[in-house]
Amino acid sequence: MSSAKVGDTIPDATLQTIPWDPSLEDGKACGAPMKVNTHKEWKGKKIVVVAVPGAFTPTCHVKHLPEFVQRAGEFKQKGYEVYIIAANDVFVMSAWGRTEGGKDGLQFASDVNLDFSRGLGATLDLSGAGFGERTARYALIANDLKITYFAVEEGSSEVNVSSASTVLGKL
């Protein structure tokens, strides 16, 4: 059950990302991780956060991410930066973004310690399936650190309230 709500301030957490660089194109370089403090880096900005339980997993990979990749330009036109986050490490998130064509308009970030998602009350225990604690599947819109939309999917394989079309409709 999530505890965050519209009007709340987003959690002050540090994510990790590997910014796109042409040296990453052929997959032979790993890139350099960069820390992103949500309160410092996102202050004064319009941000969309899309959380998935895991990179390269069936629902996340096939049903959830593709629409965000296809529609990344629409978010950018509306002035939003989009972060795709999961509990996977930063190198896995970077590889997922590169292999799926998400290098332009999307940031793939790691919430490996779940500081951001736990701060929202949006984690998922998949220990029974051998995956441990993960980010729940959710979407969040923030404007200058204030939540303007936040919804968590009821089931880990559902993509409704966190789909690109739903989120675009809330901007």
Active site residues: 60
Single out the residue of 99, 84, 91, 106 nearest to residue 25, CA to CA. 99
State how far the Cα of 123 lies from the Cα of 88, in Å rounded to an integer.
13
User: Which two three-digit tokens encode residue 87?
Assistant: 């509990």
- 97: Cβ contacts below 8 Å, ≥ 6 apart: 20, 84, 103, 106, 107, 108
Single out the residue of 22, 19, 21, 23 nearest to residue 35, CA to CA. 19
The separation between the first and the last C-alpha atoms of the chain, rounded to the nearest angstrom, is 24
State how far the Cα of 171 lies from the Cα of 156, in Å rounded to an integer.
24
State how far the Cα of 144 lies from the Cα of 10, in Å rounded to an integer.
9
On whether the CB atoms of residues 84 and 107 are closer than 8 A, the answer is yes
